[in-house]
Each structure stands twice: as structure tokens, then as C-alpha cells.
Amino acid sequence: MSDVLNLTKNLVSVPSHEDETEAGDAIEAWLTEHTDASVTRDAVGNVIARRGTGDRSLALVGHHDVVPPAAEQLDGDEYVVTERDGRVYGRGTADMKGSVAAAMVAFRDADPDCELLFASFVGEEVGGIGATHAIENGFRPDYAIVGEGSTNYSTPGVTDVVVAHRGRRAHEITVHGTAAHASEPEAGVNAIYRSRDVLDVFAELEFPTATVHGMTFGGSAVVTKIRDGGNPANEIPHECVMEVDERTVPGAAVSYEALTALENVEVASADGLPPMECDDDDFAETVLDAAAAAQDGTPEFVLKPHATDAGRLALAGTTCVVCGASEPGEAHTATESAGVDVLERCYRIYLNAADRM
């Protein structure tokens, strides 16, 4: 059994949807035993390793937390890991312990002319806790390959290189009315009815676009939930709250001026996940060349609809691409899996990229 496959199975077997400590312990112990790197564990549980020197730094980045497993992915409190038909099944194989394992082995085997870093963050699935903490405490490599999914994007059987992805922001739109007894609706102002003005604005919103490496993709904003102000069923609602999911693109965002201009309407926005755009063509080409040398198919530059920790790193000044084993439709599913050949391919991509630096 290869080191990448064996390590993937070991990491996937360790529960990490509620407490990532044991998974972090396993990563730290493996790096300490199998590499000559300086391995540290920060205050929130991130595992960061460094080896080599140079005037540039490259980081191989992942996360070891996972979303809660489905019932069939559990055996008591343990995670079920199986291998069949050339694939490894289990919570976290695709998102993203398989890529973490590939990056760990590549980190061990590489001989780069730069400082090489490995980082596995905690809390990616719950708001990027680990990446945020690391960045705030000085983790700012020059370049990073984030191992989120990029396989089967352009062509089945090919692992591509993501040069941009969308971000995410959340908004709450509160519409105010006046409460009254439901038997006398004319005595109040129904906030739910008034919210139609907000929906009319959404029907006319313009969504920005961005063009990266000749590819154009757009943002979006969708009302995903509507709730009242907690009033009883026999009362005219004095408040209606709408939750909005916005997907952003590099350099642009939806304008909400038309909403804030409405009377009795408030818009509250939360910091979200920033979009990512690779700002160095040479680095993108280096990783693409590394990917091409690692597989028979022809990888391409692609766009990713989902936000990743690459957005946070890029905002802090790190030049990023995304390249990893997960295929569309695998992450967060009850049948989550990753191809054994793809895990080995990702190892070769990361190794090639590190050596080309």
C-alpha cells in the first residue's frame, strides 16, 4: 500500500467533525516522525510545518475538520473507511483529508529551492476559524496551493488548476411593520406584505461578473429564508426578516443601495468568505505544468463556484491556486469518496510544483 493511500485511510478513520484534536495529533505525529521539518501546533489546533530556505515560500494548505458524518459513515463513534473499485470511501476522503495526506507525503519528499510549508487548518467548515487565526498570527506565505477539489472540472479523469473562485457574504434584511390584532388588519401594517417591495428590488438586481484567464463568471444573491418577528398567529406581524446568500466574484459585489433606500427596511451584512483570484500568471503556469506532468490527461485553468480558505489567504497577500482530489458532487455526501489514482496524482502535482519552485 502506498504512503499516500495508507495515510489517507488513517486520517479519514479519525473523527474530526466535533473535535479536531485527535486528527491534528495524527498529522503532527506523522510529520514529526517522517520529516526533518519544524512542526508546530498553534493555539486553535492548526498544524504548521516548515522546511527549507529561500527568498520565496510555498505552502501546501488543507484542513482536517469535516462536516458531521451520515449514519452509514459511522460504526459507533468510529468513522467507517472502506476501499473498493479503486476508490476510498469515508467522511473526509474528498473534503479533504485525501488531499491533506497527498500534501504531507509531497512535503516530505520534495527538494525545493524555497521555504516549503505545510498547513492543515481547523474549523474550515464552520467559518474558517483556523485560517483566520493563522493569518492573524503571521501565516502569510508568498504562494499557496490549497488542496480543495479541482478534479473532473474540465474533463473526466483530469485534475485541473483553479485560478479563481467565488466568495460568500450573508445578509439579513429586516422589514418593519406595525402590530395589530389579526381580526383588525387595517389597524396595523403587515411586515410580510411590505416585504414585497424588497422582493421587487431583488427581481431587478444586477449581478457583477469577473473575467480571469479569459473565463467569465458571475455573482449572485438569493433570498434563502423568510421568518416573521415571532408574533402569534392571531397578530399582524410587526417584523419580517429575510436571509440572503450572496456569492461574490473578485473585484465586485452586488449593490444594495436600492434596498437601503426603502423606508422601514434595514440591511445587516456579515463578513463572509472572500473570493480568490490568482494574481501571478507565472505561478499559475508553474502549477499547471506540474499538473500536466503528473497525469496523462491535459489539465486546464478552471473556475470554482465554492469559497475556500484560498480567499482568506489571497486577501492577506498570498498568491493562491486551488488543486485537489475532490470531484464535483462528492464532498459532504453519504457516499463521499476519492479515487486512489487521483490521490496519487495529487501527490505528484504537489511534489512537482514544490520542486519547480
Kindly list the averaged pLDDT for each block of 10 residues, start to end, along the chain of length 357.
94 96 98 97 98 95 97 94 97 98 98 95 94 97 98 97 95 95 95 94 89 92 90 94 93 86 91 92 97 98 95 97 97 97 98 95
Gap between the terminal Cα atoms of the chain: 29
Q: Measured between alpha carbons, how far is 332 from 317 in angstroms, rounded to an integer?
A: 30
Cα dihedral 189, 190, 191, 197, rounded to 10, equals -90
Looking at residue 1, its pLDDT comes to 63
**Annotated active-site residue in 20, 28, 95, 124:** 124
Q: Are residues 64 and 125 in the same domain?
A: yes
Please identify, among 272, 295, 330, the residue that sits at the C-terminal boundary of a domain.
272
C-alpha cell at 85: 473499485
State yes or no: is 184 an active-site residue. Answer: no
Residue 140, φ and ψ in degrees, nearest 5: -145, 70
Q: Are residues 261 and 301 in the same domain?
A: no
Q: Are residues 221 and 119 in the same domain?
A: no
Number of domains in the chain: 2
Q: Are residues 161 and 281 in the same domain?
A: yes
Please identify, among 215, 240, 272, the residue that sits at the C-terminal boundary of a domain.
272
On the 0-12 / 13-18 / 19+ scale of CB atoms within 10 A, 154 is middle
Q: Measured between alpha carbons, how far is 46 from 64 in angstroms, rounded to an integer?
A: 9
Q: Measured between alpha carbons, how far is 326 from 63 in angstroms, rounded to an integer?
A: 13
- Using the Cα atoms of residue 99, residue 101, residue 105 and residue 110 in order, give the sign of their dihedral: positive
Looking at residue 348, its pLDDT comes to 98
Q: Are residues 244 and 174 in the same domain?
A: yes
**Annotated active-site residue in 20, 28, 65, 160:** 65
Which contiguous run of DSSP H or E holds residue 174?
Answer: strand 167-176
- Radius of gyration, alpha carbons of the chain: 23
State yes or no: is 124 an active-site residue. Answer: yes
The residue range of the domain holding 175 is 167-272
Looking at residue 153, its pLDDT comes to 97
Please identify, among 213, 238, 272, the residue that sits at the C-terminal boundary of a domain.
272
Q: Are residues 142 and 253 in the same domain?
A: no
| Angle (nearest 5°) at CA 208 between 206 and 212 | 160
CATH label of the domain that carries residue 192: 3.30.70.360
Q: Is the pTM of this model over 0.95?
A: no
Q: Are residues 150 and 258 in the same domain?
A: no
Q: Are residues 15 and 142 in the same domain?
A: yes
CATH label of the domain that carries residue 70: 3.40.630.10
Looking at residue 50, its pLDDT comes to 97
